[in-house]
Structures are given as C-alpha cells and as structure tokens.
Amino acid sequence: MSLNDRLKELRESGINDAKRAERLQELNDLRVQLLGKKGPITQALRGMKDVPKEERPEIGTLANNVKNDIQAAIESRMAEVNQHIIEQKLKQETLDVTLPAQSHEIGTRHILNQTIEDIEQFFIGLGYEVAPGYEVEEDHYNFERLNIPKNHPARDMQDTFYITNELLMRTQTSAQEGRDMDAHDFSKGPLKMISPGVVYRRDDDDATHSHQFHQLEGLVVDKNISMADLKGTLEALCRHVFGPDRNIRFRPSFFPFTEPSVEVDVSCFNCGGEGCRICKYTGWIEVLGAGLTHPNVLEMSGIDSKVYSAFAFGLGPERFAMLKYGVDDIRDFYTNDIRFLNQFKGVN
C-alpha cells in the first residue's frame, strides 16, 4: 500500500473512531493514539525517505490535512459528548416550576389595630378628624388644660411616668383636645375630632390592667351641643361595634374635665340583657366614660362657654376587643402568641 493510500486510510478510520466514541476519555485516548509521537501517522511518515523528492511536498500536505481532519473530528465529537452530558445533568437537576411553592404563613393586622381602625372609620364617616397627638406630652396639656391643676387629687388616679417636671408620658389621649381647640377656626364650622393612641400609667400589670395601653378620645365642640347628641353618637358607635340590637344607658359619674359626667353601659351582647357571667348578671356592660365638656376646659382655649358647648368621651380599644371577642386577659394582646393572634384574621 502506498504512503498516500495509508494516510487516507488512517484519516477515514480515525474519523469513524471519533464518531463512535461515547465518552470524553475515549476521545482523549484516541487523540493520543492517532496524533501522538508514536501514532500511526508519525510511523507512516517515516517512509517518506522512499518517496520521490517531487512527491514529498504533496505527501507532507496530505499528512497535515489528515491530522487536522482527525483533530477536527475528535473536537466535534467532544463538543457533542459535552452537550449530551450537560443535557443529562439538566434533566436530573431541573426544578419543576409548575409544582406549588413552599407555603408561607401570611400575617394579618393585630386585633387591636383592627379594632382601632374600625372605630376610626366609623367616626370618619361622621365627619370627624383623626389626631393621634404626642406620646411624650406636656403636663400643661395632659392635666391642667383638662381642669386638673397641680396637686389636684384626681391626678392620683393617673399616676404617671414623668421625664421632667413638665414633660411626661401621656396618661390619656385627651391631651390632644386642648391643642386642637387652640388651633381650630370655629368660623369655618364645628370641631369634631378623635385622638387614638398609646397611653402610660404606673399600673401593676394583671389580667385587666397594663402600664401601657390604648385609648381613643373624642371631642365635638359646636353651638347647642347637648347630652342627646352625645347619647345618639355613642349609641350608634356601640351598635356598630357590638351589634345592631344594642342599647346604652348613662350612669352619673365624675371626671374633672366634663360636667355632667357619665359612665356608659351597653346592653349585654351575649345574653341580650337577661343576665350572664359576662355582664355579671346585670344585663349591662360598662364600656366607656363621657360627658359634656366642662366650661373651664373651653374657656382655657379661648372658647366662649356661653356660646359654645361640647361633649367628650373616652374608650379603651383593649376593653372593646376583650368584650367583643371574649378575651379575658389583656396581656394576651401583647405576648405575641401566634396561636392567639391567628384567631383574629380578618375579623373586621
């Protein structure tokens, strides 16, 4: 067999061997075997000494072409094998995005926030403005502007956290009422506002008391305000919160900033007034305090109490939530027990 034919045979067999290889290692071995220093092409070229001089360039070109063709066949097959390996790995490692994702627990608004926001929306619907006020308040607005001068015994009921002699953590959101009366332009209409927020008192924490809790105070100032306006407003509120069949009653009480003052009871929503454990068998449940704003409070804001009158009320969102949902320990609202909080998803 001539050298020319031998080289062509090596090219054909090398290309066929490369096409049949299934593994990268086979192809690497084939490269060394065919193209290495001890390979058949190198061995065949040792016969160049027997080739006439005029044919040697042609044989040399053929030999280089054979090497290049075999090299190209091996690299092409390597690329195919690599692609196959990648495809197999992708099949093994593919994530099926059509499967449902791992579920995550979805939270909700805290039941106290839900309660406060529900009451806020009720009063906004009646044309009230929402004024949260300041948690760090002046003694002047927290007490004196509410007809509770220094050394007044009523301050003992609201023992509080003082920061300085004149700054304190507010004991009631009523402190905002003085600021709003000062700023309001009565030539443009009545003042109707509520002030929700956190208040602080030096109470011992137990099932019904906390050193930090929420209040929502309300105030309406206009001409000819009466107890009838107050009762109608609070009756509508209690029916909104506790149910449409609720009735309310007023009992005489005392607050320094209202005169007359009343405690407000709502007919028991559990027994309908027949008497049960929740209402202590009276048929009524105490829910808030209210009254007609004391003339002194109006006068301290420069409001003529002979022309204008007002009513004010204050309620505890915790108490409303406890009564409405049967919670018997105020501390449950603050311990962040997910089992407790999950009971109130979307109740309002």
Torsion angle of C-alpha atoms 55, 61, 66, 68, degrees rounded to 10? 170
pLDDT at 231: 95
Mean pLDDT on 75-90:
89
Q: Which H/E stretch holds residue 97?
A: none
Torsion angle of C-alpha atoms 199, 200, 206, 208, degrees rounded to 10? -30
| Sequence spans of domains, the chain | 3-93, 111-343
* pLDDT tens-digit series, residues 172-193: 999 999 999 999 999 999 999 9
pLDDT at 154: 66
Residues 137, 175: contact at Cβ < 8 Å?
yes
Terminal alpha carbon distance of the chain: 98
Q: Distance from CA of residue 338 to its chain's centroid?
A: 14
Look at 137-151, 272-286, 291-305 and tell me which has the smallest mean pLDDT: 272-286
What homologous superfamily is domain 111-343 in, according to CATH? Bira Bifunctional Protein; Domain 2 (3.30.930.10)
Q: What is the DSSP letter of 336?
A: -
* pLDDT tens-digit series, residues 305-324: 999 999 999 999 999 998 88
pLDDT at 301: 95
Burial of 52 (0-12, 13-18, 19+ CB in 10 A): exposed
Cis peptide before 40 (omega within 30 of 0): no
pLDDT at 1: 57
Spell out the SS3 assignment of 189-200: CCEEEEEEEEEE
Q: Specify binding-site residues.
A: 259
Q: Specify binding-site residues for Mg(2+).
A: 259
Mean pLDDT on 75-98:
85
* Tokens describing residue 242: 């506790």
- 99 versus 69: which is more confidently predicted? 69
pLDDT at 206: 87
